[in-house]
Structure 1
Amino acid sequence: MAIGTVAYLKVWIPLTGLSIPCPIHAATGLYCPGCGSTRSLSALLQLDLADAFRYNSLIYILLPLYGCYWLLQRKKKTKLAQGMLVAMLVLAISFGIIRNLPAFSHLAPPA
């Protein structure tokens, strides 16, 4: 899967200019919590950490939380793992709402 992702980001998009559009943004004009993730991962592959974080900061907040969730699952701490999962879901929904408010427009991915 990692090889396919890197090929998509480093070969397919630069050659064709075609990437997967966000259906939520296309239908509503609003940014979903995942908008900008493709550009963020592409910037990360080029080691441009500032742009990677600017395109979608949520994925870099969720990654460590997911790691904690995974560890809790492995240690059979089911209630804590479920709480972590709920926290990640609330965070993602909140981020999706907040990034569309004018006062937080800096959280929207740059065009």
Structure 2
Amino acid sequence: MRHYLKKFDKRILIGLGVVGAGVLYLKVLSPAFNIHIPCPFKHVTGFDCPGCGVTRLSLSLLEGDLYQAFRYNSLIFVLLPLFILYYYLSAKGKKRSSEAVLYGMLAMTILFGVLRNTPMFNFLAPTII
């Protein structure tokens, strides 16, 4: 049990470090130095990738604007609970179930990436600033 807690504490510290670095980037460095993360996929193809809008989503969440965050990238709101379910199933040793969830998330991500670039589903594309 003690070994599990040490591993868990390490993950929490790493997670908090990543979140802290993200907040520092989004709220301090990006506005001060006008540094933004470009999307190489969009730059090369002209299409929105499944992750386009995540930086703006993060900024909206930091400002408490859940509605606008959802408009920037709604996929994250679907994938987050599924990722938690995947992690839970993996921790319980349910390999087949966790893999099914993982492949489902992959299929959703690919489908979302294709649909958000079609005229009929353009409401899935990130809103323009």
Q: Structure 2-normalised TM-score?
A: 0.84
Alignment-derived partner of residue 19 in structure 2 = 2
Larger radius of gyration: 2
Residue 116 (structure 2) pairs with residue 99 (structure 1): yes
Partner SS, residue 34 of structure 1: coil
Partners of 2:54 and 2:19 in 1: CA distance: 15
Secondary structure at the aligned position of 2:97 is classed as helix
* SS of the residue 2:49 aligns to: coil
Q: How many residues align?
A: 111
- Give every structure 1 segment of 4 or more consecutive aligned residues whose post-TM-superposition deviation is greater than 3 Å: none
Task: Give the unaligned 5+ runs of structure 1.
Answer: none
Task: Kindly state the Cα deviation for residue 15 of structure 1 after the two structures are TM-superposed.
Answer: 1.0
Name stretches of at least 5 consecutive residues in structure 2 with no aligned partner.
1-17
Structure 2 partner of 1:73: 90
- 1:65 maps to a residue whose letter is L
In the alignment, what sits opposite 2:10? none
How far apart in 1 are the matches of 2:57 and 2:33?
18
Q: Offset of 1:64 from its aligned partner? A: 0.2
Letter of the structure 1 residue corresponding to residue 97 of structure 2? L
- Structure showing greater relative contact order (alpha-carbon pairs closer than 8 Å, 6 or more residues apart): 1
Measure the CA separation in 2 of the matches of 1:35 and 1:52.
12
Matched, 1:23 2:30: no
- C-alpha distance in 2 between matches for 1:43 and 1:14: 14
